[in-house]
Amino acid sequence: MKAVAVLAVLPDYRSSFVQELYKALGQSDTDLSFVVGDQHLDATVKSADHPRVIKVRNRTFLGRRILWQAGALRHVHGADVVVVDLNPRSVTAWVILLWRMALRRRTLVWGHILPRRGAAARTAPLRRRMRRLASGVISYTWSDAQKVIQEDKSARVWVAANGLYPDPLLGYDAQSDLRHRLLYVGRIEPTKKPILALQAFAIARRELSLDDRVRLTFVGSGSQSSELETQARAFSVSDRVDVLGSINDYERLRKLYAESVASLSPGYVGLSLTQSLGFGVPMLVARDEPHAPEFELFSASTGRSFPMDDSRAMAEEMVWLSKNMDSWDRTAIVATVRETYSSTAMARGFELALRNIDQPVAK
């Protein structure tokens, strides 16, 4: 069976998923190719160089609101099954869906069922239309899969939930007694609000007697990286703040998480929640942000929250977390991810979808 996945981007964090998927398909008759663009509509999201992946150029229009993948269509000819992004801003996805529907060829959509702004967003009806043009849906989350079934009980649905690491690499360092970091991992961009975390840390140190051993650590890159360092000096906390840049190496990240009291999401949360919980580290999350559906993993057992954009409330939670770092059941935190959000489980759901084998979608 020839299968092709045409995706806007395939970032570095998908490496484990790609490896696990090809491992799973190794014993089948499925020949899978990925066709991916160089960068997304958000130019900070780029494709990495994965083995066995065809890279094409993404062209954007209308102020980077619309995407066309130049040269992608020729790779779809003759495919038994094609997977496209569930993203109404991708003209390529629409063309493939309509073309293959006319030919009565099997086509799947993969992505979030709703935009981050929810069912009231202007693009929500377009996502629904894409789902109805497709032969089936591969959902990023289990709760999204349930929404599809509630809307259309005859829909074919699979779950390939956003997992970053295979089963064996999920877990926490039980011997670590050196937890002294508040850890931010993600893009250093305004929508993720890293400056808010810095402001809260400064308040926690200056006014709320945050443990002097605790450091604020940023992992990631983006347009606000230099501003973080400037603001850390302005707040007189640069001696306790680390701006480390992007880190993709598993061992380095595992060590940072093993040293962390908690991870931080001052803006909207997505994959960083999956990653943090996979290492047994609770997350401090802003309430009422337009979180990605991975937010379904968040609960009182996996983290704490504070009112959106409230730096003082965030500071108070930083202090609470530093004083109660031993109050978490880290084994249970890891368990929330291992069975459903590992890259192994992600690859398993994607493989079942390609091969048209039913998958139970209840968590």
- Which residues, including other chains, have CB under 8 Å from residue 321's CB and lie 6 or more apart? 182, 261, 262, 282, 284, 304
184 membership: H or E segment, kind and range: strand 181-185
pLDDT for 200-246, tens place per residue?
Answer: 999 999 999 888 899 999 999 999 999 999 999 999 999 999 999 99
**Is 362 within a domain?**
no
Q: What is the pLDDT of residue 158?
A: 96
Q: What pTM, to 2 d.p., does this model score?
A: 0.85
Question: Can you say whether the dihedral through the CA atoms of 242, 246, 252, 253 is positive or negative?
Answer: positive
- Name 358's Cβ contacts closer than 8 Å, sequence gap at least 6: 352
Q: By residue range, what is the domain housing residue 323?
A: 168-337
Report the pLDDT value the prediction gives residue 209, as an integer from 0 to 100.
Answer: 84
- Whether 359 is in a domain gets the answer no
Same structural domain, 53 and 150: yes
Whether 245 maps to a domain, the answer reads yes
**Residue ranges, the chain, pLDDT below 50:** none
Shared domain for 270 and 158, answered yes or no, is: no
Is there a single domain that holds both residue 37 and residue 147? yes
Q: Evaluate whether residue 92 is within a structural domain.
A: yes
Same-domain status, 238 and 333: yes
pLDDT at residue 338 in the model: 87
Cβ partners under 8 Å of residue 118, min gap 6: 124, 290
Report the CATH number that the domain containing residue 26 is assigned in CATH.
Answer: 3.40.50.2000
- Do 297 and 173 reside in the same domain of the chain? yes
Residues 192 and 303 in one domain: yes
CA distances from 322 to 86, 184, 261, 263, 281 (A): 40, 15, 6, 12, 13
**Residue 351 identity:** E
> Is there a domain that residue 360 lies in?
no
Give the Å distances, CA to CA, from 68 to 103, 204, 268.
Answer: 22, 46, 27
Asked if residue 156 and residue 180 are part of one domain, the reply reads: no
Cα distance between residue 139 and residue 144, in whole Å: 6
Q: What is the pLDDT of residue 113?
A: 86
Q: Which neighbouring-strand residues pair with 111? A: 139
**Residues 290-328 pLDDT 10s:** 898 889 899 999 999 999 999 999 999 999 999 999 899
Residue type for 170, please?
L
Contacts of 113 (CB under 8 A, 6+ apart): 86, 127, 131, 137, 139, 144, 145, 147, 148, 293
Enter the DSSP assignment of 295.
G
The type of residue at 200 is: A
Task: Tell me what pLDDT residue 257 has.
Answer: 96
The reply to whether 228 falls in a domain is yes
175 and 150 in a single domain? The answer is no
Same domain, 321 and 194: yes
Residue 194's contacts (CB-CB under 8 Å, 6 or more residues apart) are: 184, 186, 188, 218, 220, 224, 228, 266, 267
Q: Looking at the structure, do residues 130 and 233 belong to the same domain, yes or no?
A: no
Structure tokens at 325: 């770092």
Q: Are residues 175 and 127 in the same domain?
A: no
In this structure, the answer to whether residues 179 and 327 fall within a common structural domain is yes
Q: Are strands 66-70 and 53-61 parallel, antiparallel or unpaired?
A: antiparallel
Q: Is residue 363 part of a domain?
A: no
Domain assignment of residue 187, yes or no: yes
Task: Please tell me the total count of domains within the chain.
Answer: 2
